[in-house]
Amino acid sequence: MNKIKSPKKSETIMSEIVCPNDTNPMGILQGGKLVQWMDIASAICAQTHAERICVTASIDRVTFKTPAKVGDIITIKAKMTRSFNSSMEIFVQAWAKKILSQKAYLINEAYFTFVALDDNANTTSVPAIKPGTDTEKKEYINALKRKTNLIKTNIDESNTRSN
């Protein structure tokens, strides 16, 4: 595939409101629900970029920074950082906003990896990314470092188990 795309072309912004059925008994947004919303936003981003059905391959460490509560508006931003052969890394941030104060605050961020599939559910190539801004260029470089570290970690763990 020879296409080259800007990360801006597939950037996805999604909003949700925290309803009582999205929370625990304390009225705090359940972590699993937030991760589900983040996964959907990143899937839209990946599929828009790849122009193919894409599936979640991995999610890096998910850290819950601050809780969101019933009535908060959640805004999720998903943006491509880099594409490889058939996989794509997407940086996802989730923000909560209090209605009365209009104060917004970061509640979560994570890197999602998606893989594009062809009509037979086999992996298929995806368009390359051409970062434009300084932030996009930094994320592009760091995505390769994260992937290289993940591969190294998996090899090290595999060697440890077989010894």
Asked if pLDDT for residue 25 goes beyond 90, the answer is yes
* Mean pLDDT, the chain, integer: 93
Asked if pLDDT for residue 109 goes beyond 80, the answer is yes
Place of tokens 């961020």: 109
CA distance 2 to 126: 9
Asked if pLDDT for residue 159 goes beyond 70, the answer is no
Length of the chain: 163
CA distance 124 to 101: 46
Share of the chain above pLDDT 90, in %: 85
- Say which CATH architecture domain 4-162 belongs to: Roll (3.10)
What pLDDT was estimated at residue 116?
A: 98
Show me where the domains of the chain are located: 4-162
* Residue 149 pLDDT level (bands cut at 50, 70, 90): confident
- Give the model confidence (pLDDT) of 38-83 as tens digits: 999 999 999 999 999 999 999 998 889 999 999 999 999 999 999 9
Q: Which of 80, 95, 86 is nearest to 139 (CA)?
A: 80
What pLDDT was estimated at residue 61?
A: 83
Asked if pLDDT for residue 84 goes beyond 80, the answer is yes
What pLDDT was estimated at residue 20?
A: 97
What is the average per-residue pLDDT within 105-122? 97
Q: How many angstroms separate the Cα of 162 from the Cα of each of 52, 149, 151, 155? A: 37, 20, 17, 11
What is the average per-residue pLDDT within 86-110? 96
Asked if pLDDT for residue 103 goes beyond 70, the answer is yes
What pLDDT was estimated at residue 62?
A: 87
